Amino acid sequence: MILALSSADLTRLMVKSRQKGLGQVSKAGGNVVVRVQTVNAQGKKKKRARDVVSHSPGAGGAERYQMALLNPFSTDALGVRVPDQFSAPTATLSLREFVSIGNDVVGNADCIFMPNVLNPAFSTRSSVINGTVVPMPDGTNFRGLINTGASLYGKITNYRIVSWGLRIRNTTAVTACQGVLTVALVNPHTRMRVPATANIGGQAAGATGSLGFNIENWCIAMGIPYVGATTGARVDTSALLDFPAHARYQALQLAERTVEVHPKLTDPAGLAFRDSNDSVWGSDMQATSSAVYVQPGDASYLMLDGWTSVVIGFTGGSSVANTQTFDVELIYHLEGSPNVAAATAFIADTPQSPTAPLAMMMAQAALAKLTPFSEAATAAMAAYRALAR
């Protein structure tokens, strides 16, 4: 039971509690502590008094989920689940990635950040410095950040993204900062997938209809503006200003502070669970070449449904490659079915360590300090009656 008091309510309660001797109200550690003294039918004070701590907004599941959507880097977002009608227990997991972006010899850079933990970043200009080769179905190579699905599957067999976000900072020396960075939220089309055909679970797009699926086709399907054609297509950074949700920053601004970007939910498909490896419905699609592959991959974990992507475009940088650099920190909050195998049970964790039991011990200790529901409910009702008199 949570007793939430506004400043006006707190003031009235303090006054009435002094007048009637029913208890005391104070602030402790930023929380409002109501010391409630109850009375019996004869008006005599009972011996036992109770403390009711009024927590700040966000203590409840729905409020914490809202906070996770508004600020995924908040500590309130850790361990959050989607508050839905399904009661099956899930495990929670938070993942962090760091993406380094650098300019080309023309002074430009781009990067597309996607709602996908296995391929979260992709660049049409090969701007991801710490990335690896991302092959398109037509054989063209670009650069992105690709993760293996084995580490995720070892923890949860399926997952959904509860919330995610990114922080951007210019890591160039302040005296060398130049150029402008544009950030836009782009809503991808339904049933879109990441552009890679390999390196993620061995997905292969071998059908004739997919061999011509190049970067231009992918930008069209993603709804991302582009310049050039076929394998020479690039993100049109100037057209990012046409999106309703966009912002522009001088490079110097990003050297002095970080900017957080919070993607938005766009479709109920974002709340659906995805498989965390490529063995779905009893059919192993590992390294398979099939005519049914008309998209770059066929596993559900390659999907981009339900969230906006974040497209970053940089112009006006140095003519020396990778002298204008940006650091992007990504965070994903996930929930899913724990993978329990070989007598190893999944333990809910923190972003710093995917298997540390310390977080679970701390959570249990915090739960042990909570007032039992019956006592909290009784004390809260007593406080309400004192306020109403």
Q: What's residue 340's pLDDT?
A: 75
CA-to-CA distance for 80 and 68, rounded, in angstroms?
7
Q: Are residues 243 and 95 in the same domain?
A: yes
Residue 353 covered by a domain: no
Q: Are residues 304 and 343 in the same domain?
A: yes
Domains: count for the chain: 2
In a domain, 328, yes or no: yes
Residue 323: which of 158, 106, 119 has the closest Cα? 106
Assess whether 289 and 374 both reside in one domain: no
Q: Nearest to residue 38, comparing CAs of 382, 388, 343?
A: 382
Quickly list H helices, the chain.
Answer: 7-20, 61-70, 149-153, 215-222, 251-256, 358-368, 373-388
CATH code at position 203: 2.60.120.20
Strand partners for 283: 280
Question: pLDDT at position 200, please?
Answer: 63
Same domain, 37 and 91: no
Q: What pLDDT sits at residue 99?
A: 95
- Whether 147 is in a domain gets the answer yes
Q: Is residue 352 part of a domain?
A: no
Q: Quick check: is 235 in a domain? A: yes
Question: For residues 149 and 33, what is the distance between their CA atoms, to the nearest angstrom?
Answer: 47
| DSSP assigned state of 139 | S
State whether 88 and 8 are in the same domain.
Answer: no
Tokens 């007793």 belong to residue = 3
DSSP-derived pairing of the beta strands 226-227 and 283-284: unpaired
Do residues 16 and 121 share a domain? no
Tens of pLDDT, residues 312-330: 999 999 999 999 999 999 9
- Domain range for residue 268? 82-347
Are 119 and 196 in contact by the 8 Å Cβ rule? The answer is yes
Closest CA to 144 of 374, 321, 328: 328
Q: Which residue type occupies 281?
A: W
Asked, for residue 25, whether it belongs to a domain, the answer is yes
Do 117 and 261 have their domain in common?
A: yes
Residues 69 and 86 in one domain: no
Do residues 32 and 61 share a domain? yes
Q: Are residues 110 and 235 in the same domain?
A: yes
State the amino acid at position 222 in one-letter form: M
Domain check: are 269 and 306 in the same one? yes
Look at the alpha carbons of 359, 365, 368, 371 in this order and tell me if their dihedral is positive or negative: negative
Give the distance from CA 321 to its chain's centroid: 31
The Cα-based distances of 5 to 2, 285, 309 in angstroms read 10, 55, 38
- Provide the pLDDT for residue 211: 53
In a domain, 354, yes or no: no
Is residue 317, in this structure, part of any structural domain at all?
Answer: yes
Contact in structure between 348 and 363 (CB atoms under 8 Å):
yes
Enumerate helices (H) and strands (E) in the chain, giving the number of each.
7, 19
Question: Is 109 in the same domain as 234?
Answer: yes
Q: What is the pLDDT of residue 292?
A: 40
Residues in the chain with pLDDT values less than 50: 1-5, 10, 15, 20-34, 49-59, 205-209, 280-297, 342-343, 348-360, 363-364, 367, 371, 373
